[in-house]
Structure 1
Amino acid sequence: MDYAMGSKSPSEEYVERAKRLSNDESERLLSRMRGRFSRRMENNNLSTTKALALQLEYEDEGLAEWRERMAELKKSHEGVEVNNTPDRIIAVDQ
Structure 2
Amino acid sequence: MKLILTVKNQKEATLKLKEGNLVIDEETLTIGQGFDTLLITAIDNILAESKINKLCLRRFEISGKILPGTVLGMLIKTVKSALEV
Q: Note whether the superposition's TM-score is higher than 0.5.
A: no
Q: Which has the higher strand share?
A: 2
TM-score by length of 2: 0.26
Larger Rg, first or second structure (1 or 2): 1
TM-score by length of 1: 0.25
Q: Which has the higher helix share?
A: 1
